[in-house]
Amino acid sequence: MSLDPPPVNVERVVNELEQLAAISDCPEPPPAVTRVVFTETDLRARAFLRGLYEQAGLTVRVDPIGNTFARWEGSEPVLPAVGSGSHTDAIPHSGIYDGTVGVLGALEAIRVLKQAGCRPRRSIEVVMFTSEEPTRFGMGCTGSRLMSGAITPDALADMRDSDGDTYDTVRQQAGFSGSLADVALPGDYYHAFVELHIEQGPELEAASLDIGVVTAIAAPAAFEFAIIGEGGHAGAVLMPSRRDALNAAAEMTLAIERLAKESRSPDLVATVGRLDVHPGAVNSIPSRVAFSLDIRDIDGQNRDAVAAEIQEALAAIADRRGVQLESRELNADPPAQAADSLIAAAESAVAVLGLKHQRMISRAYHDSLFMARIAPTGMIFIPCRGGVSHRPDEFSTPEQISAGVQTLALTLAQLAE
Ligand code: GLV
Ligand code: MN
Ligand code: MN
């Protein structure tokens, strides 16, 4: 197979990214995007993608959780396939490029390889994973978790959204039927898996590089905390007798920030991104607060050690303030390593294209964190402006996207050969 630079039609990709961005529940127009799993909007985005896959002559299969596979059949279709893809769900008030570049970029990579007359031995599949983002059920990567056997079908089915509806109910209402037990893929399904993604950090732009070749993905964990204090009248209950759940939560979030900053690992990050205050009235003392904790590190052991310190500190604050504290671990995943074969394939693509690259870790998590459990896996990063992501001003230039798709196309061509 020749390794000429593939002629990416980047206007087409940008146009499709923009059309996808218009399918959004964000009250603000694009580039602000909100697309939450199993909503009407998610379903419309899926229909849009299916149309593109069909136009490209790919065969589409949807599994019982909604993971979508669009296959370009190789000349030896019985061989394990090469997979590439990412997600199209988008957290509230986020941007156009997170995940979507990896799905539409994989589609474009197939289109340009086809157009160049490439005839791979192995089939190449675009995968759109269901719910990489944790927005609705608190846990990210549910599609790839189930696909890789990292969560049992029962545990997944029982998870609830904020309306109290189970994952299983919601996915069936969205039209995804069949047994969740059928989602797991055998270990020899994929010969290799590679995900194209925006970096979501500042390193590539700062070093004026085109491409990051990912060597490892940091270990994420998520917890839910509930504080139960005592409510009452904001005028009548005097300060010494209060057990204000929100003030306890405030002290707790600051303790989390302090412990994260004091960690021996500069890669340890901890975020409280959601706080629900009950009853949420100006003249009522908060009686209950629920909040989330997202904590990550490349060093999984250090992540666990700091999470344990946080639990201890929060328990001490709760004791001192006379409030009750409940905590629940949602997930605590180990880090993942990219396969040497994938790093080599991506680096040889970069060399052919004359692009500048570096090896790097991914601080964000991705479906590749779980695909690495069942296939040799790698990731290709492109820069994004200012390292900004999970915000409407997230941006990568057409040239950066084009370089990423070219690198992906050549990587896929080698892996499928
Ligand atoms: C993925 O969106 C992450 O939070 O890393
Ligand atoms: Mn994201
Ligand atoms: Mn993403």
DSSP assignment of 237-304, as one string? Answer: S-GGG-B-HHHHHHHHHHHHHHHHHT-S-TT-EEE---EEEES--TTEE--EEEEEEEEEESSHHHHH
| pLDDT higher than 80, residue 333 | yes
pLDDT in tens, 112-157: 999 999 999 999 999 999 999 999 999 999 999 999 999 999 999 9
Task: Give the distance (Å) from ligand 3 centre to CA of residue 101.
Answer: 9
Task: Give the distance (Å) from ligand 3 centre to CA of residue 336.
Answer: 16
Ligand closest in space to the Cα of 217: 1
- Give me the mean pLDDT over the 326-348 stretch: 98
- Give me the mean pLDDT over the 195-224 stretch: 98
DSSP assignment of 137-156, as one string? Answer: TS-S-HHHHHHHTSS-HHHH
Amino acid 261 reads K
pTM > 0.85: yes or no: yes
Q: How far is residue 43's CA from residue 47's CA, in Å, rounded to a whole number?
A: 6
End-to-end CA separation in angstroms for the chain: 7
The CATH number given to 10-218+335-416 is: 3.40.630.10
Give domain limits for the chain: 10-218+335-416, 219-332
Identical fold at 10-218+335-416 and 219-332? Answer: no
Q: How far is residue 318's CA from residue 326's CA, in Å, rounded to a whole number?
A: 10
CB atoms within 10 A of CB 238: 7
Q: What is the pLDDT of residue 5?
A: 72
Specify the residue with its C-alpha closest to ligand 1, atom 2.
133
Task: Give the distance (Å) from ligand 3 centre to CA of residue 205.
Answer: 18
Q: Any known ligand binding at 197?
A: yes
Q: Which CATH class is domain 219-332?
A: alpha beta
Q: How far is residue 269's CA from residue 252's CA, in Å, rounded to a whole number?
A: 16
Q: Any known ligand binding at 133?
A: yes
Q: What is the pLDDT of residue 2?
A: 54
